[in-house]
Structure 1
Amino acid sequence: MSERTDESTRKDTDAPDAPTAEAVRAQLARILDSSKLQGSQRRRDLLSYLVEETLAGRSDQIKGYTVALAVFGRAETFDPSADPVVRLEAGRLRRALDTYYVDADEDDTVRITIPKGAYVAHFEWLARGEPLRSADNRIQSATDGGEDDARSAGTDASRWPIALNSGARRTGTIALLLAVALLVVAALSWLWPRVETPDVADAYGPVIMVLPFEALNPDEETRLIANGITQDVIHDLMRFPDLRLYSVQASFRENAGADPVALGETLAVSYVLRGNVQSDPGKLRLRAQLVDASTGEVIWSGGYDRAPDPNDLLGMRSELSASVATALGEPFGVMNAATGRRLAARNAPSMASYACVLRAYEYRRTFEDALFVPSLSCLTEVVVRNAGYADAWAMLGWLNLDAARQDMVPVEEHPAHLAAAQDAASRAVTLDSGSQRGFEALAALAFNEGNYAEAERLQREALALNPHDPEALAQLGWRLAARGHWDEGLPYLEQAIARSADPPGWYFHAISVHEYLEGNYADALAAAQRSAKFGSAIGLSLAAISYAGLDQMEAAGDELAMMAKAWPLLARDPAAAYASFQVDDQIIAALLKGLHDAGLVLPATTNR
């Protein structure tokens, strides 16, 4: 990218009709206080620096190198060709500013922009009555502004990097799976147009508009509660990295009864959330619906009743909004499931890149072998095409970790995949300091290396970014339980299960183990079966152990046979398989005894 300083931007503050420094700083304060930049301190710092340096008359000194040192804390050895942080953040900042001015109101008097080709701020008066850009002009490429970002959604399968060696795998169909993956994703790239809407810059995924929740009672208190819940739901949904939302201001410009299909046509909205609030004696009722804006079909509805507490109305609002946001936004929730169906049906404008992330979620939900190679190959292509897509890097980190930890590749390839996992997860956090998925991948890698304290710290940081996400709760709970901290770990897992509409099977592993250790074999079996139904080898092993505890040996043998087919290592060397997840030695010893009781012949020695 050129580092030139445009003369037209250098002299802005000298022009007689240019905004005053006071007006610019007032506008800067408004922007920094808005939701568009609240989620990224890096972008806030970048905007403040560029504005103040321009106002100070130092436009000619604003270069990528100086920005990297002053804003992003890079060392004097910073090499912009190797580290694109300034270019990427500048592109995201430009999109955030564009989004902000879509919702400009009468208090916004100055337009602040960062014209492409330089990092110098430009100021101009915002004319009263200036029309908002059309819906067509509001649609931008999510990769605009970064030279290392996407080139084109279209790609030729022959240019795909093959992410996996075609050596030994659990099945002999690796070449066929790769070929299918290449053809499918190449087709996705061509068949799904790239439609992006502005809000929540640098995220890829479905676009949602939350309409103002309707107050069904005429009193002012119910109206205020309905408005508050609307705002809370928008803010809670924004915590989920896979979703993009129109802002509070944009939502409240629409009528509660607005036509979702019309919004889909004019604003490129994928889904519309609408609802109502009603106060009955001793009860506050919230009803919400998610509507597919392409068809008008109601794809989800939920109802929540709470006893109003006059002393804690904010707490009640927060609880209600969190319930709605979690149901929609969790990785395995309503929104991603609906978007996956739309992509599969090829009837929705979206990105092949996001489709790859959804595929990776589905693999990590079920751990089906057939999904692994297409998911890893697809993500490998995505980060070449969209180098700034933090969530794709994070999921690539997860899948490379699984390649080694789940024994998906030959043992000699494990170190290379673990190194690739570390690099990918680190990239995610470097690209986006608020990348929840990135922190979760780093936490998993630290745990895999036996650095349990660092893993817990990183996972708690991920959970702090989104306390409503069941996945973040379950990751923390599972790791605590795996190290024997049952009293702290199990409540996190129970919260994750309670908040998830359809929890993945692995959420139940530690619960099954704990019930087995307590001698509650029926409860252990019930939990194990929630995982075994997905074909999980760990779930099948726990079911076999539980059946043995119940003295149902034929059923235990059936589970062992399916376990051996699902993951041969677990039958051949169960101690090594369990230990690959850093499970506490005492827990492993108990599980080995359970497998022996179920009829598994244990090896004389284990590869621990």
Structure 2
Amino acid sequence: MLAQLKQICSSQHFHVNERRRGFLRFIVKETLSGRALSLKGYTIALAVFGRDQSFDPQADPVVRLEARRLRRDLDSYYVDAGRNDVVRIWIPKGSYVPKFEWLNMPPVAGSSDDLAHDVRTVPAQNDAADVAPCGKDVAPSVKSSVFRRLLIGAALVAAVAAGLAIWMSPFDASRSPSSATREPGVLVMQFDSLSSGESARYLAIGMEQELIANLFHLSGFRLYTSAALANQEPRPAALQVARDRGFAYIVNGSVQADGGEVRVTTSVVNAASGLIVWTKSYSRPLDPQALVGIQRNLAEEIAEVIGQPYGVVRSDMSNGSSMPAVSNMDSYMCVLRAYGYRRTFLRADFDPAMRCLEQSVQRDPGYSDAWAMLGWLHVDAGRLGFAGDDRQKRYEKAQEAIFNALRLQPKNPLALKALAAAYHFTGRYEESQRLTRQLAELYPNDPEILAQLGWRLSVRGNFEEGVPILKRAIDRTLNPPNWYFHFIAVGLCLKGDWEQARRIAERSALGDSGFSQLVLATANAELGDREGTRQALENLARYDPLARDPEGFLRRQGIADQTVGALVAGLGKARALASR
């Protein structure tokens, strides 16, 4: 990040005065040093603009005006000279805390896909032949009776799967009514056919039903189909009906099949505001023989983006932009707050999330997700050193909370994920891996489960299997949490690929728990970068449990002895270099 800052400030195309350059340097360095919360107008006015302690931001708008100009200057820079930069630095409106977005991230070693933030549309490897261009015009086949039967069959299979799932759900004892009332409703509308003929119409039906079947296997929201709007007015009334019935989001879609290509467009609308919170189009060659595979793969990808733990619905809810009309949203929002903490594992976010969950289970003792997440945070308190010497007591509390969640909802995926985590951090590694593998089979559209499996395999020394799984999770996640990258970087360190390890560690170093700072210090030391090593060690020093007792901290994570030894040795080398 500091290299990107230096590149911007030294660019002749960054047309700003020295005061705004100082403004940018200050807010970036403060953020990277963990002091983002102190970036207020008053602080910046004193540190950057020479104001004294009598500064009144209401009477003197200098910081607001300069921030507005700096946003404009950064936008201009990235449109022109910075369009090929690896990192984009930007300042959200209403805040002075900069954000960092990776634009042209080099590929992870062994992967041809770059580590972008958006979900890609690359098909699964075993379906590559299904979407390969045929080299001929396939339009005549669209009209054939064979193709029509394929379309009808695909739509019927998907409809039966989705229908069974939805028909069975009210009678599934694992679905707690008390938890369902606190989750946002998601309404999946019928997909529109934008092409003439039966083929596109059947493909639209199949896409809708495949998507419903895939979304059904994800937790955290209530799922409704367009049958909920039966006997209602046409599509324009859907938004009002959704609001009246307390649905939080509407999923719309369309299918166009002509010219040898099928194009599927999907959008998610916030029912309360009417704003489109996500939209994307997918194109595939239209091969009749590959139709079922195309339909299945697209539905899986769309479901992942919409419903995964860090997907569209939860991200939008976390921003507070949607408050569905349900009995009590406080407990649900506490679970979302805990998800936010678990992206970075920052100590400052832990205590508020823990207090919120403790209040939730007191207020709503029948809410399984709150118990599950409470158990997960108790595990974190033990393994990350947040509980001091009471680690065993925290693990006992975790077990009690997780079992409460499972008694309420025996098939709750969040509770089962928390249980797998508890197994790992109490040394039951084989049981943890076995349960996580089972979850990956049961919930194939939840990339967080993949990431947990890849992480647990890698920390136990099985990088050969674990790292490819981590990369799959990254490719299938809208905005991957930093910890998804940690053991990809560690694996590169163990191979001696220090430059690539540093790149990946830098990607994961923004606001995490400090582990990536250890990896970054090690890689920088091996590359002879004394200043980079010193900076990483200074950042690492802020994470007390890890900095004070690195070996003990690493062992509490269940990391294999050989890997712990390599990391501790690398840290020692980094400290020796920095002290010269």
TM-score with structure 2 setting the length:
0.68
CA apart distance, 1:315: 2.0
What do residues 69-103 of structure 1 show as CA deviations (whole Å, max 9, x unaligned)?
xxxxxxxxxxxxxxxxxxxx7x95xxxxxxxxxxx
The match for 1:85 is none
Gaps of 5+ in 1: 1-29, 44-88, 93-141, 144-200, 603-608
Distance 1:254 1:544, change over 3 A: farther
Show the counterpart of 1:216: 194
Give the Cα–Cα distance (whole angstroms) in 2 for the partners of residues 256 and 461 of structure 1: 42
Tell me the distance in 2 between the aligned counterparts of 1:325 and 1:211. Answer: 14
Letter in 2 for 1:461: Q
Distance 1:291 1:260, change over 3 A: farther
2:289 to 311, 325, 341: 311
Residue of structure 2 equivalent to 1:436:
413
Tell me what 2:39 maps to: none
Q: Select 1:581's aligned residue among 543, 557, 566.
A: 557
Alignment partners' CA distance in 1, 2:241 and 2:218: 22
* In 2, Cα distance between equivalents of 1:482 and 1:203: 38
SS at match of 2:416: helix
Candidates 397, 402, 410, aligned match of 2:380: 402
Aligned to 1:274, which of 232, 237, 252? 252
Q: Partners of 2:427 and 2:364 in 1: how far apart?
A: 32
Q: Does 1:241 align with 2:222?
A: no
| Distance (whole Å) between structure 1 residues aligned to residue 346 and residue 433 of structure 2 | 27
Equivalent of 1:264 in 242, 255, 262: 242
How does 1:8-407 map onto structure 2 within 5 Å? Answer: 34-36=164-166, 38-39=168-169, 43=173, 92=176, 142-143=177-178, 202=180, 204-247=182-225, 249-250=227-228, 257-342=235-320, 351-407=329-385
Structure 2 residue 483 is the aligned partner of structure 1 residue 506: yes
Secondary structure of the residue aligned to 1:551 is coil
> Could you say what secondary structure the match of 2:266 adopts?
strand
CA apart distance, 1:583: 0.5
Find the aligned partners of 1:555 and 1:280 in 2 and give their Cα distance: 54
Q: 1:276 to 1:347 in 2, by over 3 A?
A: closer
Asked whether the equivalents of residues 394 and 437 of structure 1 are also in contact (C-alpha less than 8 Å), the reply is yes
Deviation, 1:584, is 0.6
Measured at CA, do residues 600 and 301 of structure 1 come closer, stay the same or move farther in structure 2, by a change above 3 Å? farther
- Gap change, CA 1:453 and 1:248, over 3 Å in 2: farther
Deviation at 1:308, TM superposition (A): 3.2
- What is the number of equivalent residue pairs in this alignment? 417
Are residues 245 and 42 of structure 1, via their aligned partners in 2, closer, same or farther at CA, if it must alter by over 3 Å?
closer
Task: Indicate yes or no: 2:545 matched with 1:569.
Answer: yes
- Partners of 2:503 and 2:194 in 1: CA distance: 42
- Structure 2 vs 1, CA of residues 36 and 460 (structure 1 numbering), >3 Å: closer, same or farther? same
- Does the 8 Å CA contact 2:305/2:312 hold for their aligned counterparts? yes
Whether the aligned pair in 1 keeps the contact of 2:229 and 2:238 (CA below 8 Å) is no
Does the 8 Å contact 2:494/2:566 carry over to 1?
Answer: yes
Q: Does structure 2 conserve the Cα–Cα contact (< 8 Å) formed by 1:260 and 1:296?
A: no
Please report how far the alpha carbon of residue 434 of structure 1 lies from its aligned counterpart in structure 2 after TM superposition: 1.6
Alignment-derived partner of residue 569 in structure 2: 593
Structure 1: distance between partners of 2:298 and 2:234:
19
Superposed displacement of residue 353, structure 1: 0.6
Instruction: Give the distance between the partners of 2:231 and 2:385, measured in 1 at CA.
Output: 53
**Equivalents in 2 of 1:470, 1:256: separation in Å?**
36
* Partner Cα separation in structure 2 for residue 416 and residue 205 of structure 1: 31
Q: Deviations over 1:352-403 (max 9, x none)?
A: 0100000000000111212111111111121122222111111011100001
1:478 to 1:455, Cα distance in 2 relative to 1, 3 A:
same
Matches within 5 A, 1:479-494: 479-494=456-471
- CA distance in 1 between counterparts of 2:215 and 2:229 reads 13
Give the secondary structure class of the aligned counterpart of 1:423: helix
2: CA distance, partners of 1:496 / 1:225: 28
Match of 2:427 in 1: 450
Please give the alpha-carbon distance, in whole angstroms, between the structure 2 residues aligned to 1:581 and 1:500. Answer: 24
Q: Who is 1:79 aligned against?
A: none
TM-aligned CA distance change 1:424 to 1:294, over 3 Å: same
| Structure 2 CA distance for aligned equivalents of residues 400 and 244 of structure 1 | 27
**Cα distance in 2 for residues equivalent to 1:254 and 1:414:** 56
Change (3 A) 1:536 1:282: farther
Contact 2:187 2:226 (8 Å CA) reproduced? no
- 8 A contact 1:211–1:254 mirrored in 2: no
CA positional deviation for 1:204: 3.1
Tell whether the 8 Å contact from 2:184 to 2:324 is kept in structure 1 after alignment: no
Bigger mean CA offset, 579-588 vs 379-388: 379-388
Residue 310 of structure 1 deviates from its aligned partner by: 2.1
Residue aligned with 2:515, SS: helix
User: Root-mean-square deviation (CA), in Å?
Assistant: 2.5
* Aligned-partner Cα distance in 2 for 1:601–1:428: 49
* Residue type of the alignment partner of 1:224: Y
Q: CA deviation at 1:337?
A: 1.0
Partner Cα distance (1:284, 1:361) in 2: 36
Residues 442-488 of structure 1: per-residue CA shift (max 9 Å, x gap) = 11111112211100111122223311111100000100011111121
Q: Who is 2:501 aligned against?
A: 524
Q: Say which SS state the counterpart of residue 273 (structure 1) adopts.
A: strand
What SS does the aligned partner of 1:311 have? Answer: helix
Tell me the secondary structure at the aligned position of residue 283 of structure 2: strand
- Structure 1 208/256 Cα, relative in aligned 2: closer, same or farther at 3 Å? farther
- Assess, with a 3 A threshold, how the Cα gap between structure 1 residues 346 and 212 changes in structure 2: closer, same or farther: closer
Q: CA deviation at 1:496?
A: 0.6
Q: TM-score, normalised by structure 1?
A: 0.65
**Alignment CA distance shift 1:600-1:237 (3 Å):** farther
CA apart distance, 1:334: 1.2
Q: 1:211 to 1:443 in 2, by over 3 A?
A: same
Deviation (angstroms), 1:588: 0.9
Q: Is the contact made by 2:530 and 2:577 (CA closer than 8 Å) also made in structure 1?
A: no
